[in-house]
Structure formats: structure tokens, C-alpha cells
């Protein structure tokens, strides 16, 4: 295992060097299940407890955002049935990932929206018939008309409660059948008791009817549940997106020299594979014939292609840029570096999923307290000689007044307001608990290529190159997939030049392009390719030779983001530690770190070593934010306490990150952290509002001074106050940086 180079620049710019060897994770047997009805921190503990009691299970880690659980066993599992059965006995519905529909999250979103719509429609109609009763006009109505209104309300409320309340009823039933409590138990109890009591009162012709309270309660609760579900559905299985970097089929070269297409999963070590220019390497392999350049930015983050020859090692998912090559498979598809990164990511994601959200911590204490208060109210009223009807009415009022509408809205509505604010700034928040984790950040770990820099070579000092020379170079470059060639074409397009592709362009691997135009030879490529002597040309520069004319240099560079230095200074001014962790070569990493004012950096770091560094920071009690864009950053993004990724990142990194930012500026990092902290403050304030409301109204309900209807109105008012407070997140300001 190679050592990772660690360099620390002191204030004088001198470099000190050390090395750190990161342990490679041991091979483990992991089974992952989708768990349908996990809703809170208590569910996480119940799921893990149900599985760790099984023989051969070493550990179980539940991921609330993705509703999954990873089970580590001593031996490979022959079937998932024992785990599914254990979870079923604990009240959870589980299934192997292969049996889960890929669009299940969208279906859940749509289902909650439909139920929310039904509850809102029913509540509005029942309220219309209740206005007369509330306003005191019922005294002038015939008793038969009042009874008719109550029965009409019942006809609307009962099917609405049955349909809209189903998510809460099913969850509560599962919890009770497993001998545990969750937030949905008091909700279901309050709604069912209010509906049942109202139906009983209607049948007896009495006035204490609270259908509107029961349905309105469901309406507000479903708002919170729908908002929370929408945030959760953005979190997807990141490792599954690695399939996009894999190759479905490859060209096998048989012993007799014939070629045939086979599935990548059928490739065995030792097989000879033909990889054409522009294709991805299907599996980890060794070069056996040919010469080319390989784009390894997906793996290393390095934007500069690597010239390969001889017995060079190649990795699955990297792109062959130049000529056709013949490679020998060194591993099967599931033994490739991409597969290893997927396993590292899965492990890192499960570690981060143990973070318990603020709402879940509140729920763990809140649900038992509600039951105790409701039961105490009922028993106290019965002990004082009151009948069961007033005792039950008082208990229902307590259950409704303590129903966690405000608590259920406290975090989701704040997060949705924050997500909307960030979306307007070009930042997409994906993880349900991402903003909470971002608010706790005290250390920033940055990748270099694609994060501090733009991640693509660009023509520097373009204004010094005449239009006709740039147009001529672009006519050759348009025939190549090389990143440097694409940079030339992009510069010509930005200048508005007409690009006419040259005919019969040939490409020499590691050298450049050649064509004959109007009888003169044109060359675009390395200094040697264009006739310059060794040492005359910069390795990061293309040259254009037009016949006998002197070669013209086209300097190329991967520029820093325009505000990188200002953003780094602003982060350090906030007391945050900042460092660079890159898979690139030491020289460009050192140059970039020095340019933006970062003293601590590491170069040549592999994915498992990035995770090791993140875990070291965590053991020191720090909360690192990982900002990266490459496939090699994906495991570290999953391992970080929180993570950000630019929109130009690899698909897998975008999927893994808590948030994605657009544009060529780095200032979205500042914006995201500022909004996350404001979101945390508003969430805590919302909990204080909800708790204060309960402290004031619960004693009144226990004393019988509040009817269930007044309790429902008070509950609705607290939800409105919480929502209004959450809207303040949209007004937060942060330190601006010059563009």
C-alpha cells in the first residue's frame, strides 16, 4: 500500500513532510434491506436491536434518510428471510433492495399529497357547517337541523379520517404490536377518540361534537409529514449510481483472434479486452498492446490525462482518449476499484446515518409524556367522581392539545423554507438531516480539482492568440476528445469563431493531432510533436505548427474559482479550520493551496485514506464538512459529518452529497453554512414555541377548561406561529465575498 504524502506549509512558506499509512477496511459480509416504516430515532434503535439479537450478526446500522439497514455478519447470508422476519416481529416491514421499486419515494410523496388534499377538503367543509355553532347562532336553529349538520359532518369526517389518517394508524399499530411507542400512537389515539366520541354524541343528539377538530388535526399533521417525506425522498442510494460509471458490455478477444461482445459481469481475470478510443475501461486491467492517454479524473480527480504504455495498470470507469488498446483483465467487475469505492461509501454512509436528528431526539421524550398526561387526566377525573364521558372528553382535549403538530412542523417547515432560499441561490439541498449537520461544522476539507479549481483545462492568456491561429487550432482540436483539445474548441466558440473541421485528422497517442490542409502540414499537440526540442515546451501547453512557421504556444491551466481566496479567508475568519485533501500530484496541490491561503494540504490521497483522515478528525471531536466532486471523493463525502458537491461533479458524488451548488464561484459554501445555522436556530426556537404552548394549555385541558374543539384551534394556532417563525430563515444574511 502506497503512503499518502502530507505537507504542511508554515507561515514562511516552508514545507514540512510526513507520511501517514491508512488501514484498509477489513472484508465484511454486508446485507442491506429496505425498511419501509422507519420514522424517527426510536425506530432506528428498535430496528438495530431486533437484528443484533440474531446469531451470526456482528452489527446493524439503520439509515433513517434512506430507510435502509445494513447488517454485518460473520459469514455470507444465504437468504435475507431471518432478518426480514426479525424486523417483522418488531413491527417493521422490510425487503431486499432488489424487491424495492425505484420510484417508491415518488409514490410515497404522491400518496401523502393525496391524503393531505382529502383532509384539507374535508376540514374546510366540516368547518362551514360548524360556523353557526361556533358563532352562537345554533340557538335559533331547530334541533333537527343541528343534528342534520352533525350527521353530515360525520359522513364527511369518518371516511376522511379513515383515508387521511391511515399513515399514522398503520405506524401506530406496528409500534403497539411490537410493544413499543412512537409519535403516531398518541396522534392516532387522539384522532380516533375524538371521532368516536363525536359519533357517540351525534347518535345521542348531544352537542359535544368534534369532527372538525379530528380532521383539522390530521390536516396539519399531514403537512408536517409531507414536508418531511419530501426532504427524505431526495436522499437516494448513492452507491447504486456507480452503475452509471460501469460498462455494460466489452469486446473480448478470443484465443483465435476473433472478437465478440460479452457482458462486463462475465469478464474473468486473464481475459483480453479491446478498448476503442472514447470507451471506458470495463474492469481493472493491465495494458498489453497499444499506447494511449487515459482520463482518470473520475478516479483521481486529476484533470490532466495520463499517458499509458507498457504494463501500466488501468482502472474500471476511466476513459480511453486516444488510440485503441488491448488490455488484460486483472479482476472481475465486483473486484474493481469502483466496486471497492462503492463498499467504502456504503460503510461511510451508515456511519453518518447514526446521527440522530433534533426532531427525533424530541420525539423520543415526547411520546411517552403525552400518554402519561392523557391517562393521568382520565384517571383523575374518574377518581373525583365524574362520569366517564367528561373524563374521556378531558383526556381527548389533552391528547389533542399535546398532539405534536407544532413539533411535527418545527423542523420540516424550517428546512423547506431554507431549501427554497438556497435553491434560489443555486444550491440544492438533498439530505433530510443535511442542514442540521451542516450547522455543526467546524472544519472544512476541500478537494482541489473541480472544487478549489474549475476542474477543466482552460486556455490562459487567450487574448494574446490571434483569431486566425485559434480558429486553425480549433479546426484540428474538434476531432479529438482530449481535454486540452476540448479547451481549445471551447475558447474558439466563446470568441464566436467559425470552426470548420479539418479533413483526415490523425491522432497520435501522447503526442497530438496532424492534418494536411491546402498542401501544408498542420500539427497540434506536444512540444516534441510540433518539432521543439526537449525542455523548450511546457508539458501543460499545446503547440500549433503551421507548415514552416514557428510553433505557437497555447498555454492551458485549470484555474482557481474566482472567489476561492476570499471564501477561504471568510471561512477562517469564522474560526473554521480549512485543509485540502486531494488525489492529485503534489505540485499542483501545493500551488493551489498556497494561492488561496490554506496551510495544511495532502496530495496523492486514495479514497480509503480520505475516509481515514475524516474519521481521524471525528475522533478528535471535530465535525468536518467534505467538499469534493470526483468519484474518489464520494466515500469521503459520505463519511463527512456533512458534505457539499459542485454541479459539475461526478453523478455519484452529487448523489452522495448533502447539497449541490451551481456556478463557478465557491461562495455557495458560505451561503449554505449561514442558512444551515439559521435553520438550526429557527428549529430550536420552534421547539421552544411548541413546548411553551403545551406548558400553558395542557394544565387548562387537564382541568377541563378546554374542549377538544378549543384544543384543536389552539393547536392550529401554534402551528401557524411555528410556520411564521420558520419564514425568517429566508431573511438571513451572510458575509458577502467579492466576485
Q: Catalytic residue numbers?
A: 447
Return d(Cα 581, Cα 599) in angstroms, integer: 12
Return d(Cα 238, Cα 644) in angstroms, integer: 14
In the numeric block, which cell numbers belong to residue 721? 406561529
- Per residue, the 3-state secondary structure of 670-689, as one string, reads HHHHHHHHHHHHHHHHHHHH
In the numeric block, which cell numbers belong to residue 449? 480539482
In the numeric block, which cell numbers belong to residue 127? 368547518
Alpha helices in 356-482 (DSSP H): 358-383, 388-401, 405-410, 412-424, 434-438, 467-477
Cα atoms found within 13 Å of the Cα of residue 171, Cβ hemisphere only: 22
How far apart, in Å, are the Cα atoms of 307 and each of 67, 279, 513?
Answer: 44, 16, 15
Identify the CA nearest to 543 among candidates 479, 472, 456, 463. Answer: 472
Collapsing DSSP to helix, strand or coil, 278 comes out as coil
Pairing, β 577-581 against β 443-446: parallel
Return d(Cα 710, Cα 705) in angstroms, integer: 9
Helical (H) or strand (E) element with 517: strand 512-517
How far apart, in Å, are the Cα atoms of 108 and each of 37, 113, 156, 224, 392?
Answer: 11, 9, 24, 14, 35
User: What DSSP state is assigned to residue 551?
Assistant: P
Give the other-Cβ count within 10 Å of 52's Cβ. 15
Contact 181, 368 (CB under 8 A): yes
How far apart, in Å, are the Cα atoms of 396 and each of 204, 214, 373, 392, 709?
Answer: 19, 10, 11, 6, 10
Residue with cell 479529438: 480
Cα three-residue angle 708-714-720, rounded to 5 degrees: 140
Cα atoms found within 13 Å of the Cα of residue 127, Cβ hemisphere only: 13
Determine the straight-line distance between the first and last CA of the chain, rounded to whole angstroms. Answer: 42
Give the other-Cβ count within 10 Å of 302's Cβ. 22
- Find residue 17's DSSP bridge partners: 7
Return d(Cα 659, Cα 672) in angstroms, integer: 9
Concatenating the DSSP letter of every residue in 227-250 gives HHHHHHHT---GGGGGGGGS-SEE
- For 183, residues 6+ apart whose C-beta sits below 8 A from its C-beta are 39, 40, 363, 366, 367, 404, 408
Contact 13, 21 (CB under 8 A): no
Q: Where are the beta strands (DSSP E) in 133-268?
A: 249-253, 259-263
How many DSSP H helices and E strands does the chain contain?
23, 28
User: What DSSP state is assigned to residue 453?
Assistant: B
Cα atoms found within 13 Å of the Cα of residue 326, Cβ hemisphere only: 11
Query: How many residues are listed for the chain in this entry?
Result: 739
Compute φ and ψ for 215, nearest 5 degrees. Answer: -75, -40
In the numeric block, which cell numbers belong to residue 64? 433513517
In the numeric block, which cell numbers belong to residue 403? 398532539
- Cα dihedral sign for 420, 422, 424, 429? negative
Compute φ and ψ for 117, nearest 5 degrees. Answer: -60, -45
Amino acid at each position: 500500500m502506497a503512503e499518502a504524502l502530507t505537507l504542511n506549509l508554515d507561515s514562511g512558506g516552508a514545507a514540512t513532510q510526513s507520511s501517514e499509512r491508512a488501514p484498509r477496511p477489513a472484508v465484511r459480509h454486508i446485507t442491506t434491506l429496505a425498511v419501509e416504516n422507519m420514522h424517527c430515532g426510536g425506530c432506528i434503535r428498535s430496528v438495530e436491536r431486533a437484528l443484533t439479537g440474531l446469531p451470526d450478526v456482528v452489527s446493524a446500522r439503520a439509515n433513517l434518510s434512506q430507510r435502509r439497514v445494513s447488517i454485518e455478519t460473520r459469514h455470507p447470508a444465504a437468504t435475507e428471510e431471518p432478518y426480514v422476519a426479525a424486523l417483522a416481529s418488531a413491527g417493521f416491514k422490510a425487503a431486499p433492495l432488489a424487491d424495492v421499486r425505484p420510484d417508491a419515494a415518488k409514490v410515497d410523496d404522491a400518496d401523502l399529497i393525496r391524503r393531505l388534499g382529502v383532509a384539507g377538503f374535508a376540514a374546510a367543509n366540516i368547518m362551514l357547517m360548524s360556523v353557526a355553532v361556533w358563532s352562537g347562532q345554533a340557538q335559533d336553529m331547530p334541533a333537527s337541523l343541528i343534528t342534520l349538520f352533525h350527521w353530515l359532518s360525520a359522513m364527511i369526517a369518518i371516511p376522511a379520517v379513515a383515508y387521511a389518517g391511515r399513515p399514522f394508524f398503520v405506524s401506530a399499530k406496528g409500534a403497539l404490536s411490537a410493544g413499543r411507542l412512537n409519535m403516531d400512537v398518541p396522534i392516532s389515539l387522539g384522532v380516533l377518540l375524538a371521532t368516536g366520541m363525536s359519533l357517540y354524541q351525534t347518535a345521542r343528539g348531544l352537542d359535544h361534537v368534534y369532527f372538525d377538530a379530528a380532521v383539522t388535526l390530521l390536516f396539519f399533521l399531514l403537512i408536517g409529514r409531507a414536508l418531511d417525506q419530501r426532504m427524505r425522498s431526495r436522499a437516494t442510494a448513492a452507491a447504486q449510481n456507480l452503475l452509471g460509471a460501469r460498462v455494460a458490455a466489452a469486446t473480448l478477444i478470443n484465443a483465435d483472434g476473433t472478437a465478440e461482445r460479452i457482458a462486463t459481469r462475465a469478464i474473468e481475470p486473464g481475459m483480453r479486452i479491446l478498448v476503442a478510443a472514447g470507451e471506458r475501461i470495463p474492469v481493472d486491467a493491465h495494458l498489453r498492446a497499444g499506447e494511449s492517454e487515459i482520463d482518470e479524473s473520475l478516479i483521481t480527480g486529476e484533470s490532466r490525462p495520463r499517458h499509458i504504455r507498457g504494463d501500466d495498470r488501468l482502472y474500471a470507469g476511466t476513459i480511453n482518449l486516444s488510440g485503441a488498446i488491448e488490455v488484460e483483465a486483472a479482476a472481475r467487475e465486483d473486484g474493481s476499484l469502483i466496486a471497492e469505492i462503492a463498499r467504502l461509501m456504503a460503510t461511510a454512509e451508515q456511519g453518518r446515518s447514526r446521527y440522530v436528528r433534533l426532531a427525533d431526539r424530541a420525539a423520543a421524550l415526547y411520546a411517552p409524556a403525552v400518554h402519561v398526561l392523557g391517562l393521568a387526566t382520565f384517571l383523575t377525573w374518574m377518581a373525583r367522581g365524574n362520569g366517564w364521558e367528561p373524563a374521556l372528553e378531558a383526556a381527548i382535549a389533552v391528547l389533542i392539545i399535546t398532539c405534536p403538530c407544532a413539533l411535527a412542523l418545527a423542523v420540516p417547515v424550517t428546512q423547506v423554507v431554507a431549501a427554497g432560499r438556497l435553491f434560489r441561490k443555486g444550491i440544492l439541498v438533498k439530505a433530510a438531516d443535511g442542514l442540521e449537520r451542516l450547522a455543526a461544522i467546524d472544519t472544512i476539507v476541500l478537494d482541489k480539482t473541480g472544487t478549489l479549481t474549475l476542474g477543466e483545462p482552460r486556455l490562459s492568456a487567450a487574448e494574446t492568440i490571434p483569431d486566425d491561429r485559434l480558429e486553425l487550432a480549433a479546426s484540428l482540436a474538434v476531432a479529438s476528445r482530449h481535454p486540452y483539445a476540448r479547451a481549445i474548441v471551447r475558447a474558439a466558440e466563446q470568441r464566436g469563431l467559425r470552426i470548420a473541421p479539418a479533413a483526415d485528422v490523425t491522432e497520435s497517442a501522447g503526442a497530438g493531432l496532424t492534418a494536411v490542409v491546402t498542401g501544408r502540414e498542420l500539427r497540434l499537440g506536444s512540444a516534441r510533436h510540433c518539432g521543439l526540442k526537449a525542455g523548450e515546451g511546457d508539458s501543460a501547453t499545446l503547440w500549433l505548427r503551421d507548415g514552416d512557421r514557428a510553433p505557437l504556444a497555447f498555454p492551458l491551466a485549470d484555474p482557481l474559482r474566482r472567489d476561492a481566496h476570499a471564501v477561504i479567508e471568510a471561512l477562517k475568519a469564522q474560526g473554521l479550520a480549512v485543509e485540502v485533501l486531494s488525489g492529485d500530484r503534489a505540485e499542483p496541490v501545493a500551488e493551489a493551496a498556497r494561492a488561496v491561503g490554506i496551510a495544511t494540504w495532502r496530495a496523492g490521497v486514495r479514497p480509503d485514506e480520505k475516509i481515514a483522515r475524516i474519521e481521524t478528525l471525528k475522533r478528535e471531536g471535530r465535525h468536518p464538512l467534505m467538499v469534493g466532486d470526483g468519484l474518489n471523493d464520494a466515500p469521503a463525502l459520505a463519511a463527512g459529518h456533512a458534505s457539499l458537491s459542485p454541479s459539475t461533479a461526478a453523478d455519484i458524488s452529487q448523489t452522495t452529497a448533502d447539497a449541490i451548488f451551481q456556478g463557478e464561484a465557491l461562495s455557495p459554501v458560505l451561503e449554505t453554512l449561514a442558512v444551515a445555522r439559521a435553520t438550526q436556530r429557527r428549529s430550536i426556537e420552534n421547539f421552544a414555541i411548541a413546548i411553551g404552548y403545551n406548558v400553558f394549555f395542557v394544565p387548562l385541558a387537564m382541568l377541563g377548561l378546554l374542549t377538544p374543539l378549543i384544543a384543536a384551534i389552539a393547536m392550529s394556532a401554534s402551528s401557524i406561529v411555528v410556520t411564521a417563525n420558520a419564514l425568517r430563515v429566508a431573511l438571513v444574511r451572510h458575509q458577502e465575498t467579492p466576485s
